[in-house]
Amino acid sequence: MMSDFSKAFCVSPIIDPVMTAPFGSTDESSILHDDLRTDLFGEQKDGLTNIASRFKHEIGDTQKAFEKSDIIIEKEFNTATVHQGYIEPMNVTAHWNNDSRVHIWISTQGPFQIREETARALDMRTSQIKVTPMEIGGGFGGKFPLYQEPVAVLLSQKSGKPVKIIMTRKEVFEGTGPTSGSYVKCKIGATKEGKIIAAEGYLAYEAGAYPGSPVEAGGKCMFACYDIPNVLVEGIDVVVNKPKTAAYRAPGATNSTLATETIIDEIAKKLSLDPIELRLMNASKEGTRRADGPKFPKIGCIELLEAMKNHPHWNSPIEEKNMGRGIAIGFWFNGGGPSNCSIGVNQDGTINLVEGSPDIGGSRASIAMQAAEVLGLNSKDVYPSVTHTDNLGYSGGTGGSRVTFATGWAAIEAARDVKQQMIARAAKIWGIEEEDIELKDGVFVSNSDSELQLSFKELASMLIDTGGPITGKGSISPTGVGGSFAGNIVDIKLDDETGKIDIVRFTAFQDAGKAIHPSYVEGQMQGGSVQGIGWALNEEYFYDNNGDLKNSTFLDYRMPTSLDLPMIDTVIIEVANPGHPYGVRGVGEANIIPPPAAIANALYDASGIRINALPMSPVAVMENLLNNS
- Are both 447 and 587 inside the same structural domain? no
The backbone region for 396, taken as left when phi is positive above 0, alpha when psi lies in -120 to 50, beta otherwise, is beta
Q: Are residues 442 and 494 in the same domain?
A: no
What is the Cα 163 distance to its own chain's centre? 32
Radius of gyration for the alpha carbons in the chain, expressed in angstroms and rounded: 27
Backbone angles phi, psi at 258, to 5 degrees: -55, -45
| Residues 486 and 573 grouped into a single domain | yes
For 279-332, give the DSSP string.
HHHHB--TTPBPTTSPBP-S--HHHHHHHHHHSHHHHS---STTEEEEEEEEEE
Residue at 41 is within a domain: no
What pLDDT is recorded for position 24? 83
Question: Does residue 118 lie in a domain region?
Answer: yes
Cis omega (within 30 of 0) for bond into 615: yes
Phi, psi of 59 (to 5 degrees): -135, 145
The secondary element (H helix, E strand) that includes residue 384 is strand 382-386
Instruction: Kindly state whether residues 455 and 570 are assigned to the same domain.
Output: no
pLDDT of 5 reads 32
Give the angle 27-30-33 at the CA atoms, nearest 5°: 110
> Does 6 have pLDDT greater than 60?
no
Does any domain span residue 70?
no
Please check the confidence at residue 9 and state whether its pLDDT lies above 60: no
* Share of residues in the chain with pLDDT > 70 (%): 97
- In our burial notation (b when 16+ CB lie closer than 10 A, e otherwise), range 568-578 reads bbbbbbbbbbe
Task: Write out the H or E segment, with its range, that includes residue 370.
Answer: helix 363-375
What does the mean pLDDT of the chain come to?
95
Q: Are residues 437 and 540 in the same domain?
A: no
Q: Tell me: do 252 and 324 sit in the same domain.
A: yes
- CATH, residue 158: 3.30.365.10
Write the CB contacts of 288 (distance below 8 Å, at least 6 apart in sequence): 227, 295, 296
Same domain for 198 and 132: no
Q: With respect to residue 73, please indicate whether it lies within any of the assigned structural domains.
A: no
377-400: pLDDT as tens digits: 999 999 999 999 999 999 999 999
Residues 488, 443 share a domain = no
Domain that holds residue 135: 91-173
Last residue of a domain, one of 449, 476, 503: 476
pLDDT tens across 436-484, in order? Answer: 999 999 999 999 999 999 999 999 999 999 999 999 999 999 986 689 9
Rounded average pLDDT over 254-265: 99
Summarised one tens digit per residue, pLDDT across range 46-62 is 789 999 999 999 999 99
- Mean pLDDT of the region 274-300: 97
- Among 124, 148, 173, which residue terminates a domain? 173
Residues 195 and 135 in one domain: no
Each residue's pLDDT tens digit, 493-547: 999 999 999 999 999 999 999 999 999 999 999 999 999 999 999 999 999 988 8
Domain-embedded: residue 54 = no
Does residue 322 sit in the same domain as residue 360? no
122 inside domain: yes
Are 186 and 326 members of one domain? yes
For residue 491, list its beta bridge partners: 325, 505
Number of domains in the chain: 3
Indicate the pLDDT class of residue 45, thresholds 50, 70 and 90: confident
**Which pLDDT does position 11 carry in this prediction?**
40
For residue 75, pLDDT over 70 is answered with yes
Q: Do 192 and 328 share a domain, yes or no? A: yes
Asked whether the predicted pLDDT for residue 8 surpasses 70, the reply is no
Q: Domain boundary residue among 141, 173, 205?
A: 173
